[in-house]
């Protein structure tokens, strides 16, 4: 039996939004016969997944969409992962690219070529998605200006630095759906005290492409001894989301509302955000993703009250 990775029940929300958007995307672009359009799944996984029955009490955010293979798939709900969601839209994309690092999942992705046959043009790439996106994909866009694309960036952490986002935005022909891992990864690095190690600062600087995140998350006050003391804002998550969306809007031109994805206990996991060069795309994405806490926060309070 082929092992199928597990995902949390919240994954269905994300896949539903993605599916609705790519269906609208291909319908619109198919009217322009001169254009070719590619769907790139940068963390493609296996093509199918099993909905997890229970979520562990501890560390629910470590392996949200990676999971561990289970043998009892017959008694669990099997769902199409993002590769199949995109493959099943009509009309289809001109080309599909699935990037994955895990050998077992690569083999399952390769089997999609046989399953879909000549009805879909599929390429499977092994390795780091950042390398593929910044080289082979962009090289193709430079050679042929008829290409347009949707890139789905759904990491389990902070694997996509701003440098990759910036290069995709610079094409003015690529749209992205981004998993912004605020609860999964980012908040774990943001100590309440504001005293971060150099390693943590460097990691956050690379992810955001700017050290300005620190002043978004922390205020600085003078204590009784005249020392400068950082304080984390109570609504630091909202502030950081608004700041990141602003940066996406500057880079791409347009950004959607952010869809908050929660775990089964109501904990905040991540936001799904669209960014692209076209106002229509952002409008459609905001509609299919639904409303979320996308507006800038009001007057903030420090985390210490």
> Does some domain include residue 16?
yes
Are 178 and 272 in contact, with CB atoms under 8 Å apart?
yes
> Does some domain include residue 248?
no
Could you tell me the pTM of the whole model? 0.85
Phi, psi of 273 (to 5 degrees): -130, 140
Query: Can you give the CATH number for the domain in which 74 is found?
Result: 3.40.50
Distance CA 186, CA 205 (A): 11
> Does some domain include residue 304?
no
List, for residues 226-280, the tens digit of each pLDDT value.
Answer: 677 889 999 999 999 999 999 999 999 999 999 999 887 888 899 999 999 999 9
Q: Does residue 168 register a pLDDT over 70?
A: yes
Distances (CA, A) of 160 to 17, 128, 167, 226, 278: 21, 10, 12, 39, 22
Give the chain's domain count.
Answer: 1
> Does some domain include residue 179?
yes
> Does some domain include residue 299?
no
List, for residues 16-74, the tens digit of each pLDDT value.
Answer: 999 999 999 999 999 999 999 999 999 998 888 787 765 443 444 444 444 444 444 34
> Does some domain include residue 129?
yes
Structural domain harbouring 266: 6-190+253-289
> Does some domain include residue 160?
yes
pLDDT of residue 1: 42
């Amino acid at each position: 039996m082929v092992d199928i990775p597990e995902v949390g029940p919240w994954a269905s929300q994300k896949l539903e939004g993605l599916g609705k958007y790519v269906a609208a995307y291909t319908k619109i672009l198919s009217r322009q016969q001169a254009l070719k359009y590619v769907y790139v799944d940068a963390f493609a996984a296996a093509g199918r997944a099993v909905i997890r029955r229970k979520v562990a009490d501890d560390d629910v955010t470590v392996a949200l969409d990676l999971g561990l293979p289970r043998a009892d798939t017959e008694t669990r709900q099997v769902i199409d992962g993002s590769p199949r969601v995109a493959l099943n839209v009509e009309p289809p994309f001109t080309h599909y690219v699935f990037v994955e690092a895990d050998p077992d999942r690569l083999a399952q992705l390769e089997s999609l070529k046989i399953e879909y046959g000549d009805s879909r043009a599929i390429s499977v790439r092994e390795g780091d998605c950042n390398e593929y996106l910044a080289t082979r994909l962009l090289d193709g866009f430079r050679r042929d200006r008829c290409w347009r694309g949707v890139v789905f960036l759904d990491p389990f952490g902070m694997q996509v630095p701003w440098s990759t986002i910036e290069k995709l935005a610079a094409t003015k022909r690529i749209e992205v759906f981004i998993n912004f891992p605020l609860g999964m990864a980012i908040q774990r690095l943001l100590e309440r005290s504001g005293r971060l190690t150099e390693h943590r600062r460097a990691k956050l600087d690379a992810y955001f492409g700017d050290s300005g995140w620190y002043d978004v998350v922390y205020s600085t006050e003078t204590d009784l001894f005249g020392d400068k003391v950082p304080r984390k804002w109570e609504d630091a998550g909202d502030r950081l989301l608004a700041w990141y969306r602003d940066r996406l809007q500057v880079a791409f031109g347009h950004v959607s509302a952010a869809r908050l994805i929660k775990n089964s206990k109501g904990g905040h996991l991540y936001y799904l955000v669209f960014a692209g060069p076209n106002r229509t795309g952002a409008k459609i994405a905001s509609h299919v993703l639904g409303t979320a806490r996308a507006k800038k926060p009001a007057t903030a309070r420090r985390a210490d009250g």
